[in-house]
Amino acid sequence: MTVGLILFFILVITINAQKGNLPDCKSGPLSTFPICNQSLPSRQRAADLISRMTTTEKITQLVTTAAAIPRLGLPKYEWWSDCLHGVGYAPGVSFGGDLPAATSFPMPINLGASFNTALLHRIFSTISTEARAFNSEDRAGLVFLSPNINIFRDPRWGRGQETPGEDPFLTSQYVYEYVNGLQRGEDERYLKVAANCKHYAAYDLENWNGTDRFHFDARVSDQDLIETYLPPFETCIHDAKVASIMCSYNSINGIPACANQFLIKTIARESYHLDGFVVSDCDAIEIIMNDHNYTSTVQDTIAVALHAGTDLDCGQFYLNYTQQALDNKTIIETDINQALERTFNVLIRLGYFDPPEQQPYRKLSHINVDTIEARQLALDAAQQSIVLLKNTNKALPLNLNQLRNKKIALIGPTANATRLMQGNYYGTPPFLIDPITGFQEVTKNYSIDISFAYGCKISDDDESGFVEAIELAYTSDVVIFFGGIDQSIEAEGHDRESIALPTVQLTLIQQLEKIVCSPLHVVIMSGSGLDLSYIRDSSESDSLIWMGYAGQAGGLAIANVMFGQYNPGGRLPITFYPASYINDVSMSDMQMRPSPTNPGRTYKFYTGQAVFEFGYGLSYTTFNYSWYNNSMNSIFSIRSLMKNNYNEKKLHLQFYRVNVTNIGQIVGDDVVLAFIIPPRNSFNDPSPPLRKLFGFKRVQLNINQTIQVFFPLNIDSLLTVAYNGSKWLEPGSYKILIRKQHMHTVYLRGRPTRYS
């Protein structure tokens, strides 16, 4: 969505918020029509309603700000609400009255770092409850244009923070929990709220080197499309059964996404079985003609978008030019009817036309928002997402008793961060606990002096604050530097020019290291990876933590972690590359595999030395793994697999069990990651993945406790994707790794066989 459009809507939020009354199916104009007959199929109800509209009225319903149709008792409806990590600002959302705030959870990149599907489901169920409460009190719609499930393939991408990370499997698990948490509740008759998976497809560039997202043509091989870019959307549509998807600004191989029949009609509808509608990103219909130059007239633009299957326009293009397209006969009225049947069908499934008193979701109100449970969940999520990257000589956790009557200095531009911790697409939170406040809260009974010096800004060259910071550090017993980046560096519409820690921050860290009485601690806030190799390697910095954008309770979460009130267990959902990475590959190069001009992308294909790898993260305790499957079958016939499991790629081939033991001295969480290394000598893929994630589980273990973790191995995990996008079962050895430990090998025997 364009930044300008979002800012405009925020300015007029109280005007455009969802204020319309519900259609009256008891005594209103619609009450005697089939639209109000709950015994009929939803599509039949939708078709009948549309048949009663004039052509002019139908056209007013093709845009996200749909006009009222008074003669039918149909109120104005705003389709665009938002809840990326909590109910957020959008044209359909307003804060005020009994609903001044909504719970602000950590950003999706943090939630990916938790590697905890149970936590994700709880969060998204809570968000849907708050979203419904906002709707019940006329402060939000029922359709929420979230989540963002594009793959975070390049560290420069400004919106990577909105995603759970770089891995298709992790992102697929995330979106499954997101959509189910949002759409499904205790009343199976209705969607709780409608989710929207975006941006379809291969969208991950904002504005880089003179090319912006409105003009970018993503050149993607069928192999990368099937293997990397589309799996989260397949899970979203086919498995989670999302109510809608959003087509993106960019073109894919020369065809704008919102005009791409192959992607929308053939893949999303026919292959993935989308039972819902497609909405354009805001003004994406217009740019088909004006930016991509794919069409030359407004009539043809309307036609290619509607015929591709883009049902709803976030913008004004359909409203302004659909009648011209009808008059010009580039479309027929049936095209409009089909689009409206898809959108109104979703409203019917949401209970929009049914009596409120019979729907439990309509009973949700402000008392269900910002509850004690939601506040605790936001804190838990922030704590679970924090990643400990370095801890020399067990410098952490800090000992509260040993620090009595001593002084801790918090230095740096993010030590007093508040709104920064919300990332983007946020709403009004009930509170924002900055790190200073969090440290004061944890230490309040220990007579510890918590002092703060700004030191420097995030990214300019002003060193005027260095003197104060150095003086404070010199007189303190413990010094913690809080740095990172913010929305001025990474944001929608703005990709990064560098992935290094801003120079002014690194300079201040180096000066602090020279005068501190004990090694420095460093905490980084960011929604993406940074080259932190200096801090990693410095003997003068004992600890390093990445805390992402941790939401409303971020400051308390980081304090709890650093003082040992919570043992960190988060793992990186992205690769942290060296700063030189951006010189090695063009951001517009969509290829995942290495080439002479590309060192490879993500942990699956990157051939260089990462600063920190995907899945990396430390704990205050130590875990041990042992295999529990020595007697299990390790050899499978390709012919037998094809015979028994054809077109059942999700069918479990084997269940593996791993014993995880806490052999340390502190209770803690472990994220058990299961990878597979395919054969190096592939018949169909000259550059197979170095490894790929096929399972993960977060578990908490007491001291000396052992927990058995189960991992299903599916045929899908063994498939090789060829350059033309076809999938194959190939003979060879497939190594099973638990984190980096080789535990088992699966052997496939037979001839290479095409699976699909």
Q: Which residues touch 39 (CB under 8 Å, ≥6 apart)?
A: none
Helices (H), 563-637: 581-584, 602-605
Residue from 167, 204, 281, 311 carrying the catalytic annotation = 281
Q: How far apart are CA 547 and CA 387, in angstroms?
A: 6
What percent of the chain is helix, strand and coil (3-state, nearest 5)?
35, 20, 45
Helices (H), 578-658: 581-584, 602-605, 638-645
DSSP string, 239-283: IS--SEEEE-SSEETTEEGGG-HIIIIIIIIIIS---SEEEEPTT
Q: Which residues touch 275 (CB under 8 Å, ≥6 apart)?
A: 241
Please check whether residue 730 is in contact with residue 682, taking contact to mean a CB–CB distance below 8 angstroms. yes
Structure tokens given for 592: 């995942």
Q: How far apart are CA 658 and CA 628, in angstroms?
A: 6
Which of 457, 548, 571 has its CA nearest to residue 504? 457
Q: Which residues touch 572 (CB under 8 Å, ≥6 apart)?
A: 113, 387, 389, 529, 546, 612, 613, 614, 615, 616, 617
Known catalytic membership, residue 461: no
CA-angle at 429, arms to 427 and 430, nearest 5° = 150
Radius of gyration of the chain (CA): 26
Point out which residues pair with 452 in neighbouring strands. Answer: 410
For CA atoms 300, 226, 172, 531, give the dihedral sign. Answer: negative
Pairing of strands 478-484, 520-525: parallel
Which of 162, 181, 119, 177 has its CA nearest to residue 669? 119
Please check whether residue 193 is in contact with residue 182, taking contact to mean a CB–CB distance below 8 angstroms. yes
Which of 665, 675, 737 has its CA nearest to residue 701? 665
Residue spans of beta strands (DSSP E) within 374-416: 387-391, 407-411
- Maximum Cα–Cα distance across the chain: 81
Burial class (CB in 10 A: 0-12, 13-18, 19+), 445: exposed
* Active-site residue set: 281
